[in-house]
Amino acid sequence: MYFQGDRIFCTGDKGLENAVFVGGGGEEYGVKQGLALNYANRHGLVAGATGTGKTVTLQILAEGFSAAGVPVFLSDVKGDLSGLAKPGSASFKLHEAFTSRAAKIGFDDYTYEGFPVTFWDLLGRQGHPVRTTVAEMGPLLLSRLLELSEAQEGILNIAFRLADEEGLPLLDLKDLQALLVWVGENRDQLSLRYGNVSVQSIGAIQRRLLVLENQGGAQLFGEPALELSDIMLTDKAGRGRINILVADQLMGSPRLYATFLLWLLSELFEELPEVGDPDKPKLVFFFDEAHLLFEDAPKALIDKVEQVARLIRSKGVGVYFITQNPADVPEDILGQLGNRVQHALRAFTAKDRKELKHAAETYRDNPRFSIEDAIREVGVGEAVTSMLEKKGVPGMAERTLIRPPSSQLGPIEPGERAAQINASPVAGKYEELIDKRSAYEILAKRAADAAKEAEEAEARAEEEEERAREFKQARRYSRDDDDDRRSSRSRSGRGDSFGEKLTKNVMKELTGTTGRRIVRGILGGLFRGR
């Protein structure tokens, strides 16, 4: 996109407004390339092979949006992006290379500066804990996270439906585990209403929940849950805060990582009001390692992502997918990504060449060069870019030298990170876990009440038996005792049917010691074991 006469926004460049400065294109890279803020909510793509400069592009885009007053949410997959919080340094080994590049692309006011950063961490180790509730996650995303079969997902939907009907809040994993036990105990009645509820499927879900718990997923669920307003803050100078999700360790559980980001995107879609076409986005959301979202994803989930991507722009949210190959993103979603930065793709196999050609065909042709050749040949820190122009028309593809970052390239020290966390506007808000009364506690009380009722019934039965024995003992020496007993046996034999006798025997057994154990085992064992 060419902005020779128009104004472009750029960190540190006072003569440019209304766009994020990306780099220099054209002959000798002297023509500024920018991403227009009023089209930034039309989404985007940053793609390229490993080591071609995607992380730096992500860094400079985050800087540009922040400086324009737009909050950003991104994932730090490699652990490098914490450097956004600290200015770059003239003592850095790439200082001369950065200043030379800045001069080449006309970045005359290039300076080093840090940006307001908020660190988040699902594991709660290197950032503020970030949580949601099981109910907010919902059965669709939870089924995706647990890799459930269709039948198992059906049972999970039944559990969520029952939680609503029975007034059982689902906040954390132990709530869901307790509810599934209750579903198993009542499976006969539930099967008549909802279809087959098998013990095997419930057991499979419980095992998946155990695996998730062992992977640290239990820390994702609970309260206080994340408030969306806390990732849409600006600092006193009006710069948008850059929210960094610490994901280097989280990538050991890729499905948990992808599901959390998709949940957050869905929450933004559900909760934010319509704003139409704003002058600049309310939030820009970067989805790094986007291929993890779509690998083996069921069609229902892909349809959900497509719906969110299509409609969330009217909420003022721009979504940018970062991945190695554009082919990682489904075609229907790829078609909605208007702003593109394509770093180099390697073509070692026939499949690679086919994908490279397909990637080139998605750009608007530039008569000065072959897009396919350019994607193959661009060096590190260089890319083929295409940004939306007036009326949302895709801009002509341009071979662009990406501008150098103003913040530190590489991670900050642990002490510096701790200082940023302590100075954060949400410091202390999410650190302490709150365990409210929810499904687990409610079902535990029901189990305790049932056990108490069984004990009381047993005690009453024992009292009645004792009174009966005392009565018989008192009548033993009565002269009519034998006649009464014979008469009683005769009436009992004639009056009691087989069903009545069976019922009496069952009730006697349930009110006895063995019966109390059964009731406790079914209703109370789970909760006392907690």
Q: What is the pLDDT of residues 214-242, one digit of tens each?
A: 888 888 999 999 999 999 999 999 999 99
Q: Is 523 helix (H, G, I), strand (E, B) or coil?
A: helix
Task: Report residue 517's pLDDT band, with 50, 70 and 90 as the boundaries.
Answer: very low
pLDDT of 2 = 36
Q: Based on C-alpha coordinates, what's the Rg of the chain?
A: 33
Both tokens of residue 67?
Answer: 């400086």
Count of alpha carbons within 13 Å of 375, Cβ hemisphere only? 32
Q: What is the mean pLDDT of the chain?
A: 86
The residue length of the chain stands at: 530
Q: Is 302 helix (H, G, I), strand (E, B) or coil?
A: helix
pLDDT of 346 = 86
How would you classify the pairing of strands 382-386 and 398-402?
antiparallel
Task: Report residue 477's pLDDT band, with 50, 70 and 90 as the boundaries.
Answer: low
Type of residue numbered 434:
I
- Cα gap 454→447, rounded to integer Å: 11
**Are the C-beta atoms of 177 and 209 separated by less than 8 Å?**
yes
Q: Which residues contact 378 (CB under 8 A, 6 or more apart)?
A: 52, 343, 344, 384, 399
Give the distance, in angstroms, between the CA of residue 251 and the centroid of all CA atoms in the same chain. 13
Task: Report residue 156's pLDDT band, with 50, 70 and 90 as the boundaries.
Answer: very high
- Cα gap 397→243, rounded to integer Å: 31
263-298 in b/e form (b: 16+ CB < 10 A) is bbbbbbbeebeeeeebebbbbbbbbbbbbbbbeebe
- Cα gap 519→385, rounded to integer Å: 68
> By CB neighbour count within 10 A (0-12 exposed, 13-18 middle, 19+ buried), where does 239 fall?
buried
Q: Which of 2-11, 37-46, 56-65, 305-314 has the lowest mean pLDDT?
A: 2-11
pLDDT of 299 = 82
pLDDT of 315 = 95
Encode pLDDT of 277-332 as tens digits.
Answer: 899 999 999 999 999 888 877 787 888 888 898 899 999 999 999 999 999 999 99
Helix residue spans in 115-253 (DSSP H):
134-146, 150-166, 173-185, 187-194, 199-214
Q: What is the mean pLDDT of residues 456-462?
A: 83
**Are the C-beta atoms of 134 and 176 separated by less than 8 Å?**
yes
**Are the C-beta atoms of 111 and 99 separated by less than 8 Å?**
no
pLDDT of 499 = 44
- Cα gap 530→524, rounded to integer Å: 10
pLDDT at 530 over 90: no
Dihedral angle, C-alpha 439, 441, 446, 452, nearest 10 °: 170
Both tokens of residue 278?
Answer: 């704003």
Point out which residues pair with 221 in neighbouring strands. Answer: 132
Q: In what order do the strands lie in the sheet with 382-386?
A: 31-36, 19-25, 398-402, 382-386, 339-342, 44-47, 317-323, 283-288, 72-76, 242-246, 117-121, 128-129
Which residue do the tokens 């019934």 mark? Answer: 457
Which residue do the tokens 């003592």 mark? Answer: 91
**Are the C-beta atoms of 120 and 128 separated by less than 8 Å?**
yes
pLDDT at 506 over 50: no
Q: Which residues contact 491 (CB under 8 A, 6 or more apart)?
A: none
Q: What is the mean pLDDT of residues 169-174?
A: 94
Both tokens of residue 104?
Answer: 């080449």
Q: What is the mean pLDDT of residues 348-369?
A: 91
Type of residue numbered 448:
A
H or E segment at 24?
strand 19-25
> By CB neighbour count within 10 A (0-12 exposed, 13-18 middle, 19+ buried), where does 388 fall?
buried
pLDDT of 3 = 38
Percent of residues, the chain, with pLDDT higher than 90: 63
Type of residue numbered 302:
I
pTM for this entry: 0.82
Q: What is the mean pLDDT of residues 52-80?
A: 95
